[in-house]
Amino acid sequence: MQQVPDALNALNVSHHPVAWVVRTRGEPYAYSTAIQEQLRQASGLPVSDVRSMEEVVSRSISRQRFNVLLMTVFGTSALLLAAIGIYGLMAYSVEQRTREIGIRMALGAEADQVRRMVIVQGMRLAVIGVVVGLRPRSVRRA
Task: Look at residue 141 in the predicted model and tell me its pLDDT.
Answer: 62
The verdict on residue 20 lying in a domain is yes
Residues 80, 56 share a domain:
no
Residues 79, 42 share a domain:
no
The verdict on residue 65 lying in a domain is no
Query: 30: which DSSP letter?
Result: G
Residues 96, 52 share a domain:
no
Beta strand ranges found along the chain (DSSP E): none
- pLDDT tens digits for range 87-122: 888 888 889 889 998 999 999 999 999 999 988 888
Cα 113 to Cα 116: distance, rounded to the nearest angstrom: 5
Asked whether the predicted pLDDT for residue 26 surpasses 70, the reply is yes
Calculate the dihedral angle through the C-alpha atoms of 68, 71, 73, 76, rounding to the nearest 10 degrees.
-120
Q: For 23-51, what is the mean pLDDT?
A: 83
Cα 107 to Cα 110: distance, rounded to the nearest angstrom: 9
Reduced DSSP (H G I as helix, E B as strand, rest coil) percent helix, strand, coil of the chain, to 5: 70, 0, 30
Task: Look at residue 116 in the predicted model and tell me its pLDDT.
Answer: 92
The verdict on residue 140 lying in a domain is no
Asked whether the predicted pLDDT for residue 19 surpasses 80, the reply is no
Residues 53, 89 share a domain:
no
- pLDDT tens digits for range 41-93: 877 777 778 888 888 889 999 999 999 999 999 999 999 998 898 888 888 88
The verdict on residue 139 lying in a domain is no
Q: What is the pTM of this model?
A: 0.56
For the chain, the straight-line distance linking the first and the last C-alpha, in angstroms and rounded, comes to: 72
Asked whether the predicted pLDDT for residue 142 surpasses 60, the reply is no
Give me the domain span that covers residue 13: 6-60
Structural domain count, the chain: 2
